[in-house]
């Protein structure tokens, strides 16, 4: 079995799909944000402004900043309703149409008579967006809240801005619980950059998406079908799961870890690991697994979950 990120035709394109400009609470113009990502070698970007009344519900039109080698996708960070802890929902929606109907979300706090988080997420999916449960650790999101977004395609397992600003950038615990309940979700890593402290919250987490061309339609289709991996540094080159072994090819790393539900893991530790085959047999009760790469600098990459 080769996951479609490695079996699909095409090539990998590097992108960030959670970022802000001064159209909401970021420090830089949309044009400058796009310029910086292009200069860093990214293939695509989605500006996902806070979809709030105080910013006039922006869906940033970044098409003027596209070039032959740099593509943009419309998107927004949606907010509506309260989570169990009383905080406003944050839901990432990439691929929204320009005419997506605003919610009644005037500012950064929930009010009565709003759509719920699950309702606005469902509307975004119906409008064609790739929807992600955003920064669950930063939001101190309960498992019940995460499970309520039944239309989501993915969980944000790494948010660089949340990691560097408040040490709450992870989402793997939430993702693993949802997977173990049977939810077939994929992973994304992002920046959530605001550029209020230079580039410290930028260029730290990204998705590598497998597609035949770098177009919004093909990138979105690949994300929706899980043809991607997520990274803060290392690269996956190939991944196969067979009856008695797992084969991983990657950039040089010092740890390769295979894990699924529960606490059982399979790992190879060393230096400059690039082509590793591990003996493996699915446990009787196992339904899914995922692979983590860790390089010598502690940078990580995560495969999407692989289902039995």
Q: pTM for this one?
A: 0.97
In angstroms, the CA 285 to CA 149 distance is 26
pLDDT of residue 92: 98
Q: Which residues of the chain have pLDDT under 70?
A: none
**Cα 170–173–174 angle (5° rounding)?**
90
What one-character DSSP code corresponds to residue 115? Answer: P
pLDDT of residue 285: 77
For residues 12 and 234, is the Cβ–Cβ distance under 8 A? no
Domain ranges of the chain: 4-231, 236-307
In angstroms, the CA 127 to CA 23 distance is 22
pLDDT of residue 165: 95
Phi, psi values for residue 98, rounded to 5° = -60, -30
Q: In the CATH hierarchy, which top-level class contains the domain 236-307? A: mainly beta
pLDDT of residue 263: 85
pLDDT of residue 74: 98
The dotted CATH code for 4-231 is 3.20.20.140
pLDDT of residue 281: 83
Tallying the residues shown for the chain, one arrives at: 308
Give me 295's structure tokens.
């390089």
pLDDT of residue 59: 97
For residues 234 and 295, is the Cβ–Cβ distance under 8 A? yes
Give me 176's structure tokens.
């693993």
């Amino acid at each position: 079995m080769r996951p479609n990120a490695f079996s699909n035709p095409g090539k990998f394109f590097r992108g960030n799909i959670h970022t802000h400009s001064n159209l909401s609470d970021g420090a830089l113009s949309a044009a400058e944000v796009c310029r910086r990502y292009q200069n860093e070698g990214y293939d695509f970007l989605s500006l996902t402004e806070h979809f709030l009344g105080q910013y006039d519900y922006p869906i940033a039109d970044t098409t003027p900043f596209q070039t032959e080698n740099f593509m943009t996708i419309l998107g927004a960070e949606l907010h509506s309703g309260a989570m169990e802890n009383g905080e406003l929902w944050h839901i990432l929606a990439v691929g929204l149409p320009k005419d997506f109907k605003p919610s009644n979300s005037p500012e950064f706090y929930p009010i009565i008579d709003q759509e719920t988080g699950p309702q606005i997420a469902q509307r975004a999916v119906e409008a064609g967006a790739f929807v992600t449960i955003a920064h669950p650790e930063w939001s101190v999101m309960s498992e019940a809240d995460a499970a309520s977004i039944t239309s989501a395609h993915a969980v944000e397992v790494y948010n660089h801005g949340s990691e560097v600003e408040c040490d709450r950038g992870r989402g793997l615990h939430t993702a693993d619980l949802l997977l173990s309940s049977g939810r077939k979700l994929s992973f994304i890593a992002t920046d959530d950059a605001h550029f209020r402290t230079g580039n410290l919250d930028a260029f730290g987490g990204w998705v590598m998406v497998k597609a035949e061309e770098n177009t919004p339609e093909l990138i979105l289709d690949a994300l929706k079908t899980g043809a991607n991996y997520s990274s803060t540094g290392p690269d996956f080159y190939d991944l196969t799961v067979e009856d008695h072994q797992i084969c991983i090819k990657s950039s040089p790393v010092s740890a390769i870890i295979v894990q699924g539900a529960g606490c059982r893991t399979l790992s190879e530790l060393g230096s400059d690991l690039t082509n590793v085959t591990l003996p493996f047999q699915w446990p009787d009760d196992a339904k899914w697994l995922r692979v983590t790469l860790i390089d010598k600098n502690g940078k990580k990459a995560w495969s999407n979950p692989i289902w039995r």
